[in-house]
Amino acid sequence: MRESQAIMNSQIYNTLSSLTFDNTFICELPGDSESANYRRQVSGACYSKVKPTPVSAPKLIAYSKEAAALLDISEETCKSEEFTQVFSGNKLLSGMSPYAACYGGHQFGNWAGQLGDGRAINLGEIVNKRLERWTLQIKGAGATPYSRNADGLAVLRSSVREFLCSEAMFHLGIPTTRALSIIATGEMVERDMFYNGNLKEEPGAVVCRIAPSFIRFGNFEIFAFRNDIQTLKKLLDYTIRRDFSLYKGRCTDLLVSTDSLSAKLYINWFEEVCRRTADMVVEWMRVGFVHGVMNTDNMSVLGLTIDYGPYGWIENYDPNWTPNTTDAHGKRYRFSNQPQIAHWNLAQLANAIYPLIEDVEPLQQALAVYSDRFKDKWQQMMAEKLGFRTFEADVDANLTEELFKLLSMVETDMTIFFRRLALVDFKSDYLTIQKFPSNNNYSEATYISNKEDESRNLELFMDAYYVPSQLTADYISRMANWLRLYTKRLEKDNLPYEIKRSQMDLANPKYVLRNYLAQLAIDKAEDGDFSMIHRLLELLRHPYSEQRENEEFAVKRPDWARHRQGCSMLSCSS
C-alpha cells in the first residue's frame, strides 16, 4: 500500500497524448502476414494486428485511481471524454498498434488447439516514468482472428466482476493483472448465460486491464504443438529478456543478455515461473479464492492471476466447491485441487519448452521446485493465519488438518471464522485452558470436558455458521477441544496479544468480493445505477481494516443467494 501511495504521489499526466509507447511484442516477434480480420488458424506468428470495433455510446462507469497511477494518468484525465473514447476502443492514440495474441492451451485437461485473444485486443505497451512497461488490453472490443464462433464482445455482468475482482485481489496482496476502467458500450449483446438455450440480450461493456505482460503458458504450447521450434525460441528469448531481465533472485543467470540464450537459462527461467506460480496459488488458498477455470491459457508466466471468469470465494468452507457450472460434474478446478492443477499446468509448460532443452531431468527438478516452494509458502501462510511465530510441522500439521476437517463438517464461513479467531487469546478467560502434558504432543493430550464451557467457546464464531442446527454436541466438544489445543499452541509462542492479532488480521481479510455482493452491483448497474460498483471498489481498497460503516458487507452470504444464478454458480459466458 505504501508503494502504491508513492506511485500516486509521483508526477502524473493530464493528457493521454503524453503516454510513451514501446511496443516490443510486435516489434521483436513474428506477426501474422494476413491483415484481414476473419476467424482462421494463424501459423508462424505470435500475433495478428487488429483494430477494436467502435461502439455507439460509450460511457465511463468506473476507473481505478491506483491502476491509473501506474500509467502516470491523472484522475482528471480518467474522467475525460478522450479517456472514454480510447479505452472503449473508439479512438487510437499516436503510438498505439493494436493486436491480438496467438496461443493455445489445455482446457479441462485436454488439448484445445489454437485459442488466442478472442475478445481481448492489446492496444500497446507503455513505459512509465519509472521505466516500468505496462501492456494495455481492452476486453470486449470486438472480434479477432481468434474469436472462433464468438463475437469478441463482453457483457456488463462479466465486466463488472472482472473490474472489481482485479482491484480487490491487488489490495488483498495477491499477484494479479490490474483493471484500469470499465466502460458501458451503449449496445446490447446476446448471450446464453448457462449454455442451455436461453438466449438473452444484455448490456455490453469493455474493461481495460493492464499487466507487465499477458504472456501465458499457452503462448508457448501452441508453437511446441505445431513443432514451430524457431518461433518458440524467439518467444522464450523475448520473454526472458523483457520480463525477467531485472530478476535478482536465485537465478542470477537471468540477468544475462546475449543473442543466443542457453538451455541452462531456460531451466532457470522455468524454475522462476514455478516459484511465482506457487506463491500465487498459496495466496489464493489463504483468502479462499477459487479461480474456476485454471486452463493453461489462463496461466500467466509472471505468476499473476489472470482472466477473471467464473471465479468465487469459499463462503461455507467446502474444499470440493467450484463456482464453474462447466466444471460442476468433474470439479477439476475445485478449491482444494488448485495446487495440484497448477503443478499439472506447469508440467504442460515444461513439455512445451522441452524441445529447447532436450533433457527431462532438469525440468523434473524444476517441477520439484514448485512443490517445495508451495509447501514452504503454505506453512508460512498458515502460521500467519493462525498467529504463530513459525509453522512447527510436528505439531501444527495435525492442528491445521483437524481445523479444516471441522470447518468442512458444518457450513462454516471461512472468512468470518478466521477473522474471529484472531480475537482468541490464551491469556483471556474466554477459553478454559487445561493442563497439558509436558512433551508438547498436543494431538495425544487428554482433557476434562466441561459442556457449559464448550458451548460458550463457540459463541465467538456463531456468526460464521450458516446452519446453527448442525452444531451437534459431538461437534461442539470436538471444536472446543481444538480451541484448547490452539490456545496452548499460542501460549507456547507467547506472542503479545496485540502483535498476534495484528499478524492474523493482516493474513485474514475482513472483506472479500463475495459473489452475492458482485451480483448486487451488477443488478443495479444493469438498471443504470453504478453506485454499488463505486462503493465496493472503495470498500475493497481496505480489505483488512475494520470499517465500522461497512459492517453489512462483512456478514455471511444471505439465504436468498444460496442458489441464485451469479451468486452460487457461474459460467464462462461473457
Sort strands 47-49 and 199-211 into parallel, antiparallel or unpaired: unpaired
Q: What is the largest CA-CA distance in the chain?
A: 78
Say whether 117 is catalytic: no
**In the beta sheet, which residues pair with residue 137?**
122, 209
Cα–Cα nearest to 450, from 431, 468, 427: 431
User: Cell 502524473 identifies what position?
Assistant: 12
Give the chain's end-to-end CA distance (angstroms, integer).
31
Give the whole-angstrom CA distance, residue 547 versus residue 541: 11
What residues are paired with 128 via a beta bridge?
Answer: none
8 Å CB contact between 399 and 383? no
329: amino acid identity, one letter: H
| Residues contacting residue 35 through CB under 8 Å, at least 6 positions apart | 49
- Catalytic annotation, pick one of 72, 297, 327, 505: 297
Cβ–Cβ under 8 Å, residues 271 and 251: yes
Torsion of CA 126, 127, 133, 135, to 10 degrees: -10
Between CA 6 and CA 133 the distance in angstroms is 18
Helix spans in 356-409 (H):
360-386, 393-409
**Rounded-to-integer distance, Cα 165 and Cα 169, Å:** 6
In the beta sheet, which residues pair with residue 305? Answer: 176
Cell numbers describing residue 49:
494486428
Give the strand pairing for 104-107 and 110-114.
antiparallel
Q: Rounded to an integer, what distance in angstroms lies between the CA atom of residue 494 and that of residue 387? A: 10
Q: Which of 106, 109, 159, 108 is nearest to 328 (CA)?
A: 108
> Catalytic residue positions?
297
